[in-house]
Amino acid sequence: MDSPEYLIDSDIRKLLSVINDPRDQAVVVTILTTGLFLSELIALDLDSIDFEAKTLAVTGKRSRTLDLTTTTITALTKYLNIRPKTPEVALFVTERGVPKRLSDRSVDHIIRSAAKAAELDVNYHALRNTFIVRSLQKTDVKTTAKLLGVVREALARFDTITHSQSSPHAQSDASDPFDTRSPLSKLVDIIHPPKPPEHTDVSPITPNQTVGRDRLLKQAVELIHNNQSILFTGLPGIGKTHLLEVLAKQLPNTIFISSPVPFKTMLLEFAKTICPEESFTQRTPTADILGSILTAESLIAPILIIDNIDRLKASEEDTMIKLIDKFPIIAAAETTPARIQSLWWKFQKLKVPALDKVATKQLIAQLTQGHSMDPGDFELLETKIVNLANGNPFAVVELISQLPASKKVTADHIRKIDHEAGIVYRDWSWILMALWTLLVISRFIALGSHSFEGYILAGMGTSIFVFFKYIVKLRR
C-alpha cells in the first residue's frame, strides 16, 4: 500500500507564507485544520460557521459539527471582512465578476498556485492527508475517523506513517505551523482581536416576491400541469434560480436540486423521496438507483426541479433523458451546450427576460423599504439603478446592498454605488472597421488627386484613430 503524501510543519509554514489573498489563506487553512472533503468545503455556506461556539457545521451524507481552532477562526474572520457583498450564501466565492460559489477547479487552482510559489508538490489530497496524520498523532483512529465522517478502515493506509515516527512534526519546532503572523500582528490581534462581520442576506427577495414575473410563472405552471418539462434560460443574475425557488414553493410534491453535480448525489436525493423504502449509498451502482427511481409507483408523480442543469456531462445525457420521460422536470441553464444537445429537445424553453422599467422600479421600492432618504434622493437612486441594472434583478439587489443600512442614505452614498452586471456592451467593431477603411481610401484619393491638404488631413485622422484604438485597448 502506497504511503499517502502529507506536509510537515516546515512545509506548512512555507506554503502559508506565500499566500497573500485572505480568501485563499482561509481556504488552505480550513482544509489543513478540518480535513474536509472537497465537496464539503465547496458546499460550506456563511451560516455554517458559529463564531461564538467556534464550530463548523458540515452538511451532506457525512453531516457533523467540527470544532475550529483559533487560527482557523482568525483566517476566516479576515476573509469575511473583505468578502464581496453579495446575495450568494456560499462561504467561499469567486473574486472576479459576479461572485459565485467556488468550484472544485477553482479550489484546485488556489492550491496549485500557492504550491508553485512555495516550490512544493501539493494538491488537495496532500493537505487533507496532513490533517489526518496530525490528528492520528494526537488522538486514536476512532476519533479521527469521526472527525472525517468515515469508517476506521478508510484510515488503514495511514497506519505505517503514524507508527513509524513519534511525531509528523519532528523536522520543525513546536510552534503552531498554521500561525504565520508576525510577532507584532499577534500582539495586535491579542489586544484588538478581529471581529467577523455580521453577514445577513443582502437580497431581500423572498419566494413570495415575483415582481415582473407573474405572467412567466403562470405560463410555467400551465406547462407543468400539461406534463411538459420546462427549461428557463437567460443571462446570469436574471432570476432563473429565483423562479425555480418560487415554483418549488407553489407546486406540490417537488424535489429541488441546486446542481446535478455530482450526478449520483442528485440521484440519491431523488431516491430518498421517490423510493424511500430503498437504502442506497454512494457505493450503490448508478444503474440500480436509476432502476428503482424509474420503476417506483406513486399516486402523484413528483416534479424534479434542477438548477444549473447545463453542468451535466455528455455521459449523463441518456440517464437524464430517461428521468424526463418519467417525470416532469423544471430546470434552469445559462447556456445549452452542444455536448448534451439531445437533452434540450425534451424541454419547452422559456427565456427569462430583463425586467421592464416599471417592474425594476417596483423592485427598487420593495428593496429600499428599510432605508431612509429624501424623495429627491430616492428619485436619483431610482434613475441610477434603472440605468445601471438594465433590468437585471441581481444587479438591482447588488446596487442597493451597497447603501448603508444603519443611517440615512444621502446623494453622496447614491453616487458611489456602481455595478457592471447589468451593463450591455455593444459591438462597435464593424463601425471602426468602416471608419478605418474610409481613412485609408481618402489618403489614396488625396494622393491621386495631388491634394496635399487632403493627404495631411487623412494622415492626421488615421493617427488619431490608431491612438484612440490603442488607448481603448490599454483600458481593457
Mind spelling out the 3-state secondary structure of 222-289?
A: HHHHCCCCEEEECCCCCCHHHHHHHHHHHCCCEEEECCCCCHHHHHHHHHHHHCCCCCCCCCCCHHHH
Domain shared by 370 and 271, yes or no: no
- pLDDT over 90 percentage in the chain: 38
User: At residue 121, does pLDDT exceed 50?
Assistant: yes
- pLDDT tier at 476, thresholds 50, 70, 90: very low
Domain shared by 180 and 40, yes or no: yes
Domain shared by 174 and 39, yes or no: yes
Position 386 in a domain:
yes
Residue 280: which CATH number?
3.40.50.300
> How many whole angstroms separate alpha carbon 136 and alpha carbon 166?
11
Domain shared by 329 and 380, yes or no: no
> How many whole angstroms separate alpha carbon 165 and alpha carbon 167?
5
Domain shared by 275 and 341, yes or no: yes
Whose cell is 496635399? That residue is 452
Which grid cell sits at 151? 469508517
> How many whole angstroms separate alpha carbon 169 and alpha carbon 431?
65
> How many whole angstroms separate alpha carbon 359 and alpha carbon 213?
9
- pLDDT tier at 85, thresholds 50, 70, 90: confident
Mean pLDDT computed over every residue of the chain: 82
- pLDDT over 70 percentage in the chain: 82
Position 375 in a domain:
yes
User: At residue 172, does pLDDT exceed 50?
Assistant: no
> How many whole angstroms separate alpha carbon 347 and alpha carbon 333?
12
Which residue, among 66, 53, 99, 97, has the nearest Cα to 196 in the 3D structure? 53
Of the residues 327, 351, 375, which one is the last residue of a structural domain? 351
Phi-psi region of 53 (alpha: psi -120 to 50; beta: other; left: phi over 0): alpha
Total domain count for the chain? 4
pLDDT in tens, 198-212: 554 444 444 446 888
Domain shared by 285 and 328, yes or no: yes
Position 130 in a domain:
yes
Position 422 in a domain:
no
User: At residue 182, does pLDDT exceed 80?
Assistant: no
Domain shared by 53 and 176, yes or no: yes
Of the residues 319, 351, 383, which one is the last residue of a structural domain? 351
Position 1 in a domain:
no
> How many whole angstroms separate alpha carbon 268 and alpha carbon 289?
7
Contact 354, 236 (CB under 8 A): no
> How many whole angstroms separate alpha carbon 240 and alpha carbon 246?
10
pLDDT at position 369, please?
80
pLDDT at position 195, please?
67
Domain shared by 363 and 347, yes or no: no
Domain shared by 273 and 379, yes or no: no
- The dihedral through the CA atoms of 393, 243, 329, 58 has a sign that is positive
- pLDDT tier at 407, thresholds 50, 70, 90: low
Alpha-carbon torsion, ordered 292, 297, 298, 302, to 10 deg? 40
> How many whole angstroms separate alpha carbon 46 and alpha carbon 25?
17
pLDDT at position 168, please?
45
Lowest mean pLDDT among 22-26, 120-124, 178-182, 406-410: 178-182
CA angle 219, 222, 225 (to 5 degrees): 150
Of the residues 330, 351, 372, which one is the last residue of a structural domain? 351
Which residue, among 106, 114, 152, has the nearest Cα to 32 in the 3D structure? 114
- pLDDT tier at 279, thresholds 50, 70, 90: confident
Domain shared by 150 and 282, yes or no: no
Residues of the domain holding 443: 429-475
Domain shared by 294 and 435, yes or no: no
CA angle 454, 455, 459 (to 5 degrees): 115
Position 321 in a domain:
yes
Residue 76: which CATH number?
1.10.443.10
The model carries a pTM of 0.52
Backbone torsions φ then ψ of 237, nearest 5 degrees: 80, 0
Position 331 in a domain:
yes
pLDDT at position 180, please?
63
> How many whole angstroms separate alpha carbon 95 and alpha carbon 102?
9
Position 201 in a domain:
no
Which residue, among 52, 86, 349, 37, has the nearest Cα to 201 in the 3D structure? 86
Domain shared by 459 and 388, yes or no: no
